[in-house]
Amino acid sequence: MRVLVAGGSGFVGRHIARALIGDGHEVVVLSRDPARVASVPELAGAGAVRGDVTDPASLRGVLDGCEAAVFAVQFPNYPVEQPRLGLTFDRYDRGGTENLLAEARRAGVSRFLYVSGAGADTRSERSWYRAKGLAEEAVRGSGLRWAIIRPSWAYGPGDKALNRIAAIARRSPVVPRLGLRPQRIQPVHVDDLAEAVRRIFDRDAWDRVYEVGGPEVLTMHEVVATLCRVLGLRRLIVPVPAALAKLATAPLDLLPRPPMNPAGVDFAIQDGLVDDSETRRVLGLEPVALEEGLRRYL
Ligand SMILES: NC(=O)c1ccc[n+]([C@@H]2O[C@H](COP(=O)([O-])OP(=O)(O)OC[C@H]3O[C@@H](n4cnc5c(N)ncnc54)[C@H](OP(=O)(O)O)[C@@H]3O)[C@@H](O)[C@H]2O)c1
């Protein structure tokens, strides 16, 4: 099947693209800079096309000849929203999905897979949950065959969060952890997430929402402790109150590309719990535990 993967150059998208290529699909990556696609090892064998999901005119024709589209886009420097620059979950996740869906309908694409996230909810006060909820609503109501993947916290080669913590742990005897409250997540190896997508295509298992998470519910403290153990490092993990982190990161909002800001702190300390019973039942997915997943690449 010819499949366009929007966001195929990103962390999640490149692993999805690789899984689909491995299964014999013809993958085309939509990117703002298609020349870069050739330099991504996971994308060997993929084609590339230029397009910007926030600009409907730029999407005209990108899906011609495709049977399916995957949407795994997020705005540059997410989760740090910068509304004055138009970098928001609403513009990229909701608006971008709607724009690509419109082009998919025009081009006669029959299947659309949207990478959402745990907790997506149209009524949420949080911009990321709300944008993903609205995007899901658009996907479900599109008239196309659809699938929605709601991952918990994904880790693996090239991720931004866990690799950042690993870099700190390698340099410093103290590893800060955001938030005093035990934050509960189900870290999922990105290969397992990609495998779920591969199986949706392989089993033609559309018109469902698949929540995807690892087999354990862990606190962020346990995640960092597991990471240090795998790295063979003895480190002190120190909780940093969210209020303090917000105070400290507020001035960073003035930078052109802030590494963090108060809303980003809220994003980083959220829970990420999923009900993956449907994913196990329909797709037979058995994700790896965090320690084993980390040992695969660290
Ligand atoms: N990472 C996780 O743990 C996780 C967990 C749950 C859900 N998700 C969701 O998975 C999706 C992908 O996340 P990620 O971590 O893989 O993000 P990422 O690594 O930052 O990748 C973002 C992708 O979006 C593309 N992009 C940015 N602006 C674009 C535009 N205007 N038009 C077209 N493409 C654009 C980028 O491609 P170019 O730069 O080549 O244009 C890049 O491939 C997001 O919706 C995210 O919310 C991620």
Which amino acid residue places its CA nearest to atom 32 of ligand 1? 52
149, HSE (Cβ side, Cα atoms, 13 Å)? 32
Q: Please check whether residue 248 lies inside any domain of the structure.
A: no
Taking the C-alpha atoms of residue 279 and residue 225, their distance in angstroms, rounded to an integer, is 28
pLDDT tens digits, one per residue of 155-181: 999 999 999 999 999 999 999 999 999
| CATH code of 66's domain | 3.40.50.720
Q: Please check whether residue 131 lies inside any domain of the structure.
A: yes
Pocket around ligand 1 at a 6 A CB cut-off: 6-7, 9-13, 30-33, 36, 52-54, 72-76, 78, 93, 115, 117, 151, 153-154, 159
Using the mean position of ligand 1's atoms as its centre, give its distance from the Cα of residue 280 in Å: 25
Is the bond into 258 cis (omega within 30 degrees of 0)?
no
Using the mean position of ligand 1's atoms as its centre, give its distance from the Cα of residue 127 in Å: 16
Residues spanned by the domain of 48: 2-152+188-213+274-288
SS (H, E, C) the chain: CEEEEECCCCHHHHHHHHHHHHCCCEEEEEECCHHHHHHCHHHCCCEEEECCCCCHHHHCCCCCCCCEEEECCCCCCCCCCEHHHCECHHHHHHHHHHHHHHHHHHHCCCEEEEECCCCCCCCCCCHHHHHHHHHHHHHHCCCCEEEEEEECCEECCCCCHHHHHHHHHHHCCEEEEECCCCCEECCEEHHHHHHHHHHHHHHCCCCEEEEECCCCCEEHHHHHHHHHHHHCCCCEEEEECHHHHHHHHHHHHHCCCCCCCHHHHHHHCCCECCCCHHHHHHHCCCCCCHHHHHHCCC
Q: Please check whether residue 238 lies inside any domain of the structure.
A: no
- How far, CA to CA in Å, does 48 sit from each of 63, 72, 194? 11, 15, 19
Contact indicator for 42, 5 with CB cutoff of 8 Å: no
Which amino acid residue places its CA nearest to atom 25 of ligand 1? 7
* Candidate from 4, 5, 12, 33 with most ligand 1 atoms within 8 A of CB, to mutate: 12
The DSSP bridge partners found for residue 70 are: 5, 113
Q: Please check whether residue 249 lies inside any domain of the structure.
A: no
Taking the C-alpha atoms of residue 107 and residue 50, their distance in angstroms, rounded to an integer, is 16
Q: Please check whether residue 128 lies inside any domain of the structure.
A: yes
Contact indicator for 218, 282 with CB cutoff of 8 Å: no
Q: What is the pLDDT along the chain (298 residues), one digit of tens a residue?
A: 999 999 999 999 999 999 999 999 999 999 999 999 999 999 999 999 999 999 999 999 999 999 999 999 999 999 999 999 999 999 999 999 999 999 999 999 999 999 999 999 999 999 999 999 999 999 999 999 999 999 999 999 999 999 999 999 999 999 999 999 999 999 999 999 999 999 999 999 999 999 999 999 999 999 999 999 999 999 999 999 999 999 999 999 999 999 999 999 999 999 999 999 999 999 999 999 999 999 999 9
Total domains in the fold of the chain: 1
Using the mean position of ligand 1's atoms as its centre, give its distance from the Cα of residue 232 in Å: 31
Q: Please check whether residue 240 lies inside any domain of the structure.
A: no
* Candidate from 11, 14, 85, 88 with most ligand 1 atoms within 8 A of CB, to mutate: 11
pLDDT tens digits, one per residue of 47-100: 999 999 999 999 999 999 999 999 999 999 999 999 999 999 999 999 999 999
Which amino acid residue places its CA nearest to atom 1 of ligand 1? 154
pLDDT of residue 32: 98
pLDDT of residue 95: 98
Angle between helices 127-140 and 96-107 (to 10 degrees): 10
Strand 184-185, strand 218-219: pairing: antiparallel
Average pLDDT value for the chain:
97
Q: Please check whether residue 222 lies inside any domain of the structure.
A: no
Taking the C-alpha atoms of residue 287 and residue 271, their distance in angstroms, rounded to an integer, is 19
Q: Please check whether residue 144 lies inside any domain of the structure.
A: yes
Structure tokens belonging to residue 250: 């507020």
